[in-house]
Amino acid sequence: MSAPKSKIIPSRSAKRAHFDPESIYPILDEALFCTISYSVDNQPFSIPTSFVRHENKIYIHGSVGSHFIREIEKGIPVCITVMLVDALVVAKSAFSHSVNYRSVVIFAQAEVIDDIDLKTASFEWLTNKIVPGSWGYLRPVKGNEVKKTTALAFALDEASAKMRSGMPIDEEEDQDLPIWSGLIPLKTSRLEPISDSSSENILLPEHLL
Amino acid sequence: MSAPKSKIIPSRSAKRAHFDPESIYPILDEALFCTISYSVDNQPFSIPTSFVRHENKIYIHGSVGSHFIREIEKGIPVCITVMLVDALVVAKSAFSHSVNYRSVVIFAQAEVIDDIDLKTASFEWLTNKIVPGSWGYLRPVKGNEVKKTTALAFALDEASAKMRSGMPIDEEEDQDLPIWSGLIPLKTSRLEPISDSSSENILLPEHLL
């Protein structure tokens, strides 16, 4: 994975930047959503959307008629960010508070996926990411559904990960203050599935147990 | 709150858009992070950051030396997105899968907060948002800490909320299929605080119990 152009790395926290797939892929594989930004006449727009990584690209899907999709499928530059927050970092001073996070920034241009097999595969990858093991259980996808959807890929050639972990770092003169400092871990969980009215008599499939 | 210019509303889901503070403020008050996008020569950049809403503005903080802060403090157009995901919406077909979410999009320009009292107040609001009730417990903020930090405000005059709730909506011909459909709720929780080595003998303050 090549390093991003220097102009596109916000410089302040460059020490936290990583460019290797071993840092980047696990973050992309854990996060369900990214935010895609693009710009028209220097007016930025950004949209949260679900995505899936496969090999050295990420894939998103959208309606053929969506304004957002129609703009970015032109191949204009986009910036894609992914952010996982692991803990609030509570210091003895407000100024030293921080966040333990893992984030990825990608600079890329959309590549429209026309190949039907690859397009269908990208639906499968995304569906199995959102609900692992579910693709083969669902009603099979239909040709017109594939047609009504645009699939876009973005190469990860200009991607970087940043992360912070560990305890707060207070100013030296604050370290003996009798003020509690430490971490408040954050965790996102999937709760028990809730059946809709059509499924009350249908057993939960194994992949949802 | 005035309606955004039509050109800046991605049109597809306009039926889900809300422009009233009663829709927008609770989302901004629950979300700890937003993603701020800006553009330089039509190259978009975006950065996740913490923020706090007060009255009809949101406030962010950053290091005086940060590249990102120095760009957006010029007052260039930014797009700020906030996304809370409430549930995965699992339909009988992959195509009808969706997400229950609450999101806000803000179009604005940064306003630099020079007034020391307002700047300090914005630190207090943010600190008390991240860890409710903590500001008065922490070591008081110092003048040079306020100086080393840039506080920026963004008006919510061009903000809109979008949300989806409720059960999956399958195609009519799919509704009787013996395939489970429903919701998988997602929940982000704060776990038990973890003391750092300097705090092992310090009682957890009441606001963290």
Of A97, A98, A90, A92, which is closest to residue A164 (Cα–Cα)?
A98
Closest CA of chain A from B206, distance in Å:
11
Q: What per-residue confidence (pLDDT) applies to A16?
A: 76
The residue among A125, A153, A54, A51 whose CA lies nearest residue B99 is: A51
Whether residue B11 lies inside any domain: the answer is yes
A190 and B185 within 8 Å at the Cβ level: the answer is yes
Question: Domain for residue A192, yes or no?
Answer: no
What residues have CB less than 8 Å from A166, skipping those under 6 apart?
A100
In-domain check, residue B110: yes
Element (H, E) at B86: strand B77-90
3-state secondary structure of B99: strand
Say if residue B134 is exposed, middle or buried (CB neighbours under 10 Å; 0-12, 13-18, 19+): buried
B149 found inside a domain: yes
Handedness of CA B137, B139, B143, B149 (dihedral sign): negative
Give tens-digit pLDDT for B137-161: 999 999 999 999 999 999 999 999 9
pLDDT confidence bin for B15, thresholds 50/70/90? low
Among B44, B50, B34, B73, which Cα is nearest to B127's?
A: B50
Per residue of chain A (209 residues), give pLDDT as tens: 333 333 344 444 556 799 999 999 999 999 999 999 999 999 999 999 999 999 999 999 999 999 999 999 999 999 999 999 999 999 999 999 999 999 999 999 999 999 999 999 999 999 999 999 999 999 999 999 999 999 999 999 999 999 999 999 999 999 999 999 999 999 999 999 999 999 999 999 999 99
User: Whole-angstrom Cα distance, residue A83 to residue A28?
Assistant: 9
Kindly state whether residue B144 falls inside one of the protein's structural domains: yes
Alpha carbon distance B18, B104 (integer Å): 9
Burial label for B209, CB within 10 Å (0-12, 13-18, 19+), is exposed
Look up residue A98 and give its amino acid: S
CB distance B93–A137 less than 8 Å? no
Q: Is residue B189 part of a domain?
A: no
The predicted pLDDT at position A14 comes to 54
Q: What is the ipTM of this complex?
A: 0.92
DSSP H stretches of helix in chain B: 21-30, 67-72, 116-130, 143-147
Give residue A27's domain range. Answer: 10-165
Q: Please tell me chain B's helix, strand, coil percentages from 3-state DSSP, rounded to the nearest 5.
A: 25, 40, 35
In 3-state terms, what secondary structure has residue B200? coil
User: A interface mutation test: which of B162, B164, B199 has the most A CBs within 10 A?
Assistant: B199
Determine the 3-state secondary structure of A7 from DSSP.
helix
Residue labelled with tokens 């090999």: A55
Quick one: which of B22, B4, B199, B52 has its CA closest to A175?
B199
What's the confidence (pLDDT) of residue A4?
37
Give φ, ψ of A45 to 5 degrees.
-130, 145
| Chain A residues in contact with B205 (beta carbon < 8 A) | 180
Number of domains in chain B: 1
**pLDDT range class, residue B16, cuts 50, 70, 90:** confident
Q: Is residue A161 situated within a structural domain?
A: yes
- Residue B12, pLDDT > 80, answer no
Work out the minimum CA distance from A14 to partner chain B, whole angstroms. Answer: 11
A57, two tokens: 């690209």
Q: Which residue has the tokens 């020490």?
A: A15
CA-wise closest residue to B58 among B83, B24, B9: B24
All residues at 6 or more sequence positions from A118 whose CB lies less than 8 Å from its CB, including other chains: A151
Closest residue by Cα to residue A100 from A180, A14, A184: A184
Domain-located, residue B1: no
What span, in angstroms and rounded, lies between the C-alpha atoms of A151 and A125? 12
Residues in chain B with CB shorter than 8 Å from the CB of A182 are: 193-196, 199
Is residue B180 over pLDDT 80? yes
| Residues B182, A199: C-beta atoms closer than 8 Å | yes
**Mutate which of B13, B76, B139 to test chain A, going by most A C-beta atoms within 10 A?**
B139
CATH assignment at residue A44: 2.30.110.10
